[in-house]
Amino acid sequence: MFKGILKDQSVQTSIGVIFILLIFGSFILPEWMSNNFMYGMSRGLAVLGLMILWRTNLVSFGHALYYGFGAYAVALCQKFFGVTDILLRLLIAVAAAGLLGFALGFILRKYREIFFAMLSLAFSMVLYGLLAKAEFLGSTDGMSISPSTFFGTELGRIALFNFIGLVVILAIIFAQAYLRSSLGHLTTAIQDNEIRVEYLGYSVEKAIHIKYVISACLAGGAGGLMAASLGQVDPDSMVLWSVSGELVFVTIMSGLGNILAPFIGAVIFEFIRTYAFEWAPQAWQMIIGGTLLAIIFFSPGGLWSLFQKLNFLRKKNNE
């Protein structure tokens, strides 16, 4: 599955871009900017998860379930077991979300289209209701998370930033390897004709289940890293339907064209939000909504299609 993956063009581009970003972020950019890159890269993992589902025409309106589950797994492990190691945190977040995704996958793999979307939304709101009501889980206040450590030493912001960058590179390699494998190639086949795929001898439900668990793991890891980099979790910013909506928003904004697109989209989203808050504190939601409208009208393939257009233009000039 991983054979020749490092020769893959998208993987090479992604590694290159993230590497440049890490160097810039560590040495040149002011801290608030590396913060935004850090949040963007974390959120991008969840968007990547959504993108993988989306390529089979499965749109989840409840991915904040895994995002929040990963984040709360990190928070609760700190509260009850004192876990602050960043590697452990990431593992816990991914494993918790993966297990939950595996369990729910048995139900969700049977559904498609709007039924899939609404059912996943319903599951996410069940978790929201639990978190918001339970006082020992912090109810709507959430919980604060202490700075991460790495084998006992406290991790600075820059170190955390680089760590997240490396996780993103690994996730990209893994996701691309998956998409290139025969399981991954089933993606488009399932989208085209499920019955034919069954006749070829593959189980559609199983393929979707695996895909769903991968997607859940990515979202869980995103939540865990987000929790570690923000230092706070609460149900309104982590599990509410509007968070799922944001993830879908970023997916549409990024486009499905490339494995790097979710991260670029998520980073741009963080910047838009930062400036929307700063410039229009009373109407920031309108700016974010307006951006989405503009993208749907003028660039329905997402931001990635803009890059492709640039490339296309240049080829024409060269001819």
Q: Which residues bind other proteins (CB under 8 A)?
A: 9-10, 12-13, 16-17, 20-21, 24, 28-33, 35, 39, 132-133, 135, 139-142, 144, 146-147, 230-238, 240, 258, 260, 264, 271, 274, 277-278, 281-285, 307-308, 310-311, 314-315
Q: Which is nearer to other proteins, 33 or 99 (CB)?
A: 33
Q: Which is nearer to other proteins, 57 or 144 (CB)?
A: 144
Q: Which is nearer to other proteins, 32 or 199 (CB)?
A: 32
Rounded to the nearest whole angstrom, what is the least distance from the CB of residue 182 to other proteins in the complex? 21
Rounded to the nearest whole angstrom, what is the least distance from the CB of residue 261 to other proteins in the complex? 10
Rounded to the nearest whole angstrom, what is the least distance from the CB of residue 302 to other proteins in the complex? 14
Q: Which is nearer to other proteins, 59 or 292 (CB)?
A: 292
Q: Which is nearer to other proteins, 116 or 128 (CB)?
A: 128
Take residue 197 and report the two structure tokens written for it. Answer: 């795929």
Q: Which is nearer to other proteins, 32 or 298 (CB)?
A: 32
Rounded to the nearest whole angstrom, what is the least distance from the CB of residue 231 to other proteins in the complex? 6
Rounded to the nearest whole angstrom, what is the least distance from the CB of residue 110 to other proteins in the complex? 32
Rounded to the nearest whole angstrom, what is the least distance from the CB of residue 204 to other proteins in the complex? 29
Compute φ and ψ for 4, nearest 5 degrees.
70, 15
